[in-house]
């Protein structure tokens, strides 16, 4: 077992990333994510990694994408305003199948909003912020310890599926300090690569029965092209409708077909629950206390927390909606995930919403009120 | 943020802890606050809802945060401050924290460490040895002697009282 240390969520993100193999960080500081840049600047040179502060958020993600093409595990971090700017290149990384971790420590928006107050208003942007049909994986931590663990997982999923992964943090957890035990080692997954670099290998060739290309790092093996245009196996643009359709379908399928591997949820006290709180990220802390308070009052209350925000954990949520009488969705926004929950719940249970857009934190009492409401 | 060391000591002592603090311009000078929860059980909501202890070193922060405290909350303030009427009926401990730092330790900026000693003197939630280890994790090299003195003076403020 490792040693217990005190750490801030943002610092734990960097430590987890480094444990997973991050050796490149490019970013443009913005609260409440700035400590991720600061800690990366200190820690990366210590592990022979590189840190660079770019001129803006767009350049930062572009720089991280460039580093990743050469085989280096790369990350960039920002908050809402910067996350908006990164969307175009996020789609580029999805299509070009470049592993990358993009951290968004959410703050109140829209625009530059309310620096630096807690928010979870970027949930839908994490899924659909970049245009076109694209796969997306996003994870959301609710403690400092989990921030460390999920930072590792973000890299592992990104590498395994050669796709950008969003680490959707929030101010509550990013700035929270807790004691955590740093594990001595973690499971690390590296991106699929060809067994040897042959000049004849086509970079985007997909082996029979597989969904992820085994690409050589850029500069090794066959000369290939990286583009934001739909492309063939050599990476060069194509207008061939069959190839185009197959490519976009495969990109979606590579995440859909691996749902079981990607989606994680935490369920608490759902066995006998009549009411369930749906929550994620930092809000789960208020929800946990609300659940305890409800139980003390004799209300059979449970909690459903998606750890993987995208893909949406509907397979796990479905049986819950068929069992409980009411789901209380608590999220720090005007109502985003609540629509997904309503879609899955249909007419099978009542869905109530607790949200906040004034920059203050949702309290356990506010959730409890919705649990008890007639 | 003198509570930070106290909280680090609690981690060393194997307790569950959560800390959050003012974030914004006020954290660089002004009326700011740090909140610490120390528990034997897993911590849910990370904000302090029912404080059992409040420390304030400036009149402005005392006036701001010394309101609507739950019954039984212990309040530690510098002896240069005046307790507002809202604190009538509470146990308010006044100690010369700022003066001790200046006069006995010889450096005003050690007031936070004096306060750490005083807090543990009052609450006794960790051993003085764990407290010292925690403080030493947070100070620049070469300042061990003055910080240890500040800590001991803080403890003595309570034990000598």
pLDDT confidence of residue A343: 98
Question: Structural domain of residue B113, as residue ranges?
Answer: 3-159
Domain boundary assignment for chain A:
4-181, 267-305+312-372
Q: How many domains does chain B have?
A: 1
Contacts with A115 from chain B: Cβ below 8 Å: 24
In this model, does residue B27 exceed pLDDT 70?
no
Would you call B21 and A175 a contact, using CB atoms and an 8 Å cutoff?
A: yes
What's the pLDDT band for B146 if we cut at 50, 70, 90?
very high
d(CA A58, CA A82): 8
In this model, does residue B92 exceed pLDDT 60?
yes
User: What is the tens place of the pLDDT at every residue in B29-88?
Assistant: 677 889 999 888 899 999 999 999 999 999 999 999 999 999 999 999 999 999 999 999
Lowest mean pLDDT, pick from B23-27, B76-80, B147-151: B23-27
Task: Tell me the pTM.
Answer: 0.94
H helical segments located in chain B: 3-12, 59-65, 97-99, 111-123, 128-137, 144-159
Would you call B46 and A31 a contact, using CB atoms and an 8 Å cutoff?
A: no
CATH 3.20.20.140 fits A267-305+312-372, yes or no: no
User: A66: which DSSP letter?
Assistant: H
The enclosing domain of B53 has a CATH number of 3.40.920.10
A2 interface with B at CB cutoff 8 Å? no
Which carries the bigger pLDDT value, residue B140 or residue A344? Answer: A344
Q: What is the DSSP code string of A238-275? A: ---HHHHHHHHHHHHHHHHTTHHHH--EEEES-TT-SE
B5 interface with A at CB cutoff 8 Å? no
d(CA A128, CA B33): 38
B37 interface with A at CB cutoff 8 Å? no
Would you call A6 and B23 a contact, using CB atoms and an 8 Å cutoff?
A: no
Would you call A178 and B8 a contact, using CB atoms and an 8 Å cutoff?
A: no
The dotted CATH code for A4-181 is 3.40.50.970
B43 interface with A at CB cutoff 8 Å? yes
Rounded mean pLDDT for each run of 10 residues along chain A, 374 residues in total = 83 98 98 97 98 98 98 98 98 98 97 92 98 97 98 98 98 95 95 82 90 91 90 96 98 98 98 98 98 98 98 98 98 98 98 96 97 93
| Residues A186, A20 contacting (CB under 8 angstroms) | yes
Q: Compute the count of residue pairs across chains A and B with CB atoms less than 8 Å apart.
A: 55
User: A76: which DSSP letter?
Assistant: E
User: What is the tens place of the pLDDT at every residue in B110-135?
Assistant: 999 999 999 999 998 888 998 998 89
ipTM for the assembly = 0.87
| Residues A362, A330 contacting (CB under 8 angstroms) | yes
pLDDT confidence of residue B12: 66
User: What is the tens place of the pLDDT at every residue in A82-129?
Assistant: 999 999 999 999 999 999 999 999 999 999 998 889 999 999 999 999
Quick check: do A4-181 and A267-305+312-372 share a fold? yes
A116 interface with B at CB cutoff 8 Å? yes
Dihedral sign from CA coordinates of B27, A107, A72, A90: negative
pLDDT confidence of residue B5: 67
What's the pLDDT band for B1 if we cut at 50, 70, 90?
very low
A65: Cα within 13 Å, side-chain hemisphere: 24
B9: Cα within 13 Å, side-chain hemisphere: 25
Contacts with B17 from chain A: Cβ below 8 Å: 6, 177-179
């Amino acid at each position: 077992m490792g040693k217990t240390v005190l750490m801030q969520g943002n610092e734990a993100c960097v430590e987890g990333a480094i444990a997973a193999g991050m050796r490149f960080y490019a970013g443009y500081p913005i609260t409440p994510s700035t400590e991720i840049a600061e800690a990366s600047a200190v820690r990366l040179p210590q592990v022979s990694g590189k840190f660079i502060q770019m001129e803006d958020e767009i350049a930062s993600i572009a720089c991280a994408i460039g580093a990743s093409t050469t085989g280096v595990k790369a990350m960039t971090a920002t908050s809402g305003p910067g996350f908006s700017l990164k969307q175009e290149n996020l789609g580029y990384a999805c299509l070009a199948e470049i592993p990358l971790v993009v951290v968004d420590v959410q703050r109140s928006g829209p625009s530059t909003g309310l620096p630096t107050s807690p928010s979870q208003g970027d949930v839908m942007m994490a899924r659909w912020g970049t245009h076109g049909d694209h796969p997306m994986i996003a994870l959301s931590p609710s403690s400092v310890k989990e921030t460390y663990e999920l930072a590792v997982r973000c890299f592992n999923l990104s590498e395994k599926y050669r796709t950008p992964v969003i680490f959707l943090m929030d101010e509550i957890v990013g700035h929270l300090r807790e004691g955590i035990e740093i594990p001595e080692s973690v499971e690390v997954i590296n991106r699929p690569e060809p067994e040897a670099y042959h000049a004849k290998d086509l970079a985007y060739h997909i082996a029979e029965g597989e969904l992820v290309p085994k690409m050589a790092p850029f500069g090794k093996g066959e000369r290939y092209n990286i583009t934001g245009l739909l492309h063939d196996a050599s990476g060069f643009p194509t207008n061939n409708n069959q190839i185009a359709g197959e490519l976009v379908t495969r990109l979606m399928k590579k995440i859909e077909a691996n749902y079981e591997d990607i989606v994680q949820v935490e369920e608490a006290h759902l066995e006998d629950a009549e009411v369930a709180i749906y929550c994620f990220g930092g809000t789960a802390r208020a929800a946990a206390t609300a659940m305890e308070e409800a139980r003390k009052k004799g209300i059979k209350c449970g909690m459903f927390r998606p750890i993987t925000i995208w893909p949406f954990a509907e397979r796990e949520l479905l049986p819950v909606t068929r069992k409980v009488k009411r789901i209380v969705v608590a999220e720090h926004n005007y109502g985003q995930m609540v629509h997904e929950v309503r879609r899955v719940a249909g007419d099978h249970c009542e869905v109530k919403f607790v949200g906040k857009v004034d920059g203050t934190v949702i309290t356990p009492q506010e959730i409890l009120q919705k649990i008890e409401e007639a | 943020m003198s509570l930070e060391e106290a909280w680090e000591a609690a981690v060393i002592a194997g307790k569950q802890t959560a800390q959050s603090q003012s974030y914004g311009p006020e954290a660089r000078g002004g009326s700011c606050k740090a909140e610490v929860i120390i528990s034997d059980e897993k911590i849910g909501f990370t904000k302090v809802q029912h404080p059992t202890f409040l420390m304030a070193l400036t009149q402005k922060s005392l006036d701001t945060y010394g309101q609507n405290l739950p019954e039984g909350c212990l309040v530690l303030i510098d002896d240069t401050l005046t307790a507002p009427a809202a604190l009538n009926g509470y146990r308010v401990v006044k100690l010369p924290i700022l003066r001790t730092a200046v006069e006995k330790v010889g450096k005003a900026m050690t007031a936070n460490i004096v306060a750490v000693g005083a807090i543990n003197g009052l609450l006794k939630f960790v051993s003085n040895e764990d407290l010292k280890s925690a403080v030493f994790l947070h100070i620049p090299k070469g300042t061990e002697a003055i910080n240890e003195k500040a800590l001991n003076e803080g403890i003595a403020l309570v034990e000598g009282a």
